[in-house]
Structure 1
Amino acid sequence: MNTITWILTAVLAVVFTISGVAKSTMSRDRLIATGQTGIAPFPMPVVRAVAIAELCAVVALFVPWLTDTARVLTPLAALGLTGVMIGAATSHASLREPKSVAANTTLLALAAFVAAARFATLT
């Protein structure tokens, strides 16, 4: 179970690192052109704030667990990413983009699994 949790954590880290870097560096038009259409309803300061939250969550997915310091931050970061994915799925649903909603729902499930697995092993 621990190996699966680490693999899913790595998948989340890769996805949210790419997403966070893109949202924090690209213009609105470029983001939409590269497929991040879910940002369309939001002002750029909100998009940038979500990007920073995603990048912070990536760090919190690994560092506390690896250093055995404040380990509760890891499942909390995963829960935060579930919240981001709820927002993303809602945004894509309003834009009538079912494939994006499916991708968001999958990432939501992965993040929820990591959160549950890490909460279950806290001592």
Structure 2
Amino acid sequence: MSSSLHAYELLRAQINPYAEELWLIALNSQMEMVQKEMIFRGTADHCLVHPRDIFRTLILCNASSFVMAHNHPSNQALPSEQDLVFTRKIYQLAMMFQIPLNDHLVMTATQYYSMADHGHFKKWRKNSVQYLYE
């Protein structure tokens, strides 16, 4: 998995135009895909997700790191505030589990938004180091 574009191209054919879905790409230590799986399916504008199901999947396939992706049937690739809050929570849990979250993509049929490429993870990394040691 060499880039956010590579992850998007890997998942683009899976995009559901009618309901939000959360997908995981589990990676080994060489950043090669070991598993690609849809974890949750929601409605046209919402997807209920529980962190335990994400990490259960990653642990069972012995992932070294992972990429999350979800689609927006509205065809708007910008993340919502809820998307950012949820991603930060998963990012912090991933640090605790020592299974790094490499990226979270918000996808449509024609475009995507990479949270890593837009600097969210760098900002959270600075704040998370303090959080983990408090």
Higher relative contact order (CA 8 A, sep 6+): 1
Which structure would you say has the larger Rg? 1
User: What is the TM-score with the length of structure 1 in the denominator?
Assistant: 0.30
Q: Which has the higher helix share?
A: 1
Report the TM-score when normalising by structure 2: 0.29
Identify, as 1 or 2, the structure richer in strand.
Answer: 2
